[in-house]
Amino acid sequence: MLRQSTPVPSILLHPLKSILRTSMFSIALAIAAAGDRSLWNLADRTAVVTGGSKGLGRAIVEELLDHGCTVLTCARDVSPLADLLSREAGGRCIAIEADVSTASGRALLVSEVEARFGARGLDVLVNNVGTNLRKASVDYTDDEYEMLHATNQASAFHLSRGCHSALKRARGCVVSVSSVSGSSNDATGAVYHMTKAALEHMTRYLACEWGPDGIRVNAVAPWFIRTPLTAPLLAQEPFHDAVRRATPLRRVGEPCEVASTVAFLAMRAAGYITGQVVGIDGGMMQEGFRYVS
């Protein structure tokens, strides 16, 4: 006659199940954490950020450094970066004076990339440099048009081409800083809108052309962000209030909110994202007409 096994008392079984669940959860967390370390940081990676001395560029440089990246940045004047360079005494932040709106400035930067990163290649190129002149279309001079085009669009195209070999060696990525002006009319000047629209289509085109080389190409499109460039406008309270009312989140953005998105697009966690223009606009581009009584 077979004897029935003595059942385990439920008072003992429940703690055992709890221990097993806790142990399995801890293992899952450990695996996830290990995955996070490989996907969610930029340790041992290299980046170039144009226009990194102030505003969005400075915020992007600091964000990439915080995630472990080695950053080469450029500006026409790098003296505002003195504090950051002294803080990063280990050499993870390098700054050179170069105007990437000119062919000679871009050549200087590309030669620095090759000299410093060599066979390893370049992991991240951030085309950040940009400026604007708000005028009626008929009031722009030829020189002003050429300056805006050279700074906002030509610099990104030619520098991306110049860094292609280094990006290909590292299977890296390009992130360009566009604007909501690239796909909407916010009355900030026709030439600025034209350059940002071109930058966004360049992003989509290069993503397809360079995808087989393992290079991802994306852009971010901010709305009003609190920077030295926007400070004079935001200092005018009626204008600032109009910006807030046009934005579902009812505030302007901060540089760190753009920088963190750029850093994410540079990470392995974003490894299947390419050809995208990511809005950082507080919902402004989704806002339709709403009558509030």
Note the pLDDT tens digit of each residue in 202-217. 999 999 999 999 999 9
List the structure tokens of 163.
């860094």
Is 140 an annotated catalytic residue?
no
Average pLDDT over residues 28-51: 77
Please state which of the ranges 5-9, 204-208, 214-218, 260-264 shows the lowest mean pLDDT. Answer: 5-9
Domain edges within the chain: 12-41, 43-284
Report the CATH fold assignment for 43-284: Rossmann fold (3.40.50)
Instruction: Please determine, for residue 255, whether its predicted confidence score (pLDDT) is greater than 80.
Output: yes
**CB distance 220 to 196 below 8 Å:** no
The span from the CA of 47 to the CA of 238, in Å, is 39
Average pLDDT for residues 276-292, to the nearest whole number? 86
Catalytic residue among 140, 145, 192, 205: 192
CB 72 within 8 A of CB 112: yes
Contact 220, 280 (CB under 8 A): yes
Tens of pLDDT along 10-29?
444 454 444 434 454 454 44
Lowest pLDDT segment from 6-10, 105-109, 112-116, 206-210: 6-10
CA angle 150, 115, 152 (to 5 degrees): 15
Query: Which region holds residue 171: left if phi is over 0, alpha if psi is between -120 and 50, else beta?
Result: left
The predicted model scores a pTM of 0.86
Element (H, E) at 277: strand 277-280
Average per-residue pLDDT for the chain: 90
Per-residue HEC secondary structure of 158-185 comes to HHHHHCHHHHHHHCCEEEEECCHHHCCC
Q: pLDDT tens for residues 73-103?
A: 999 999 999 999 988 867 899 999 999 999 9
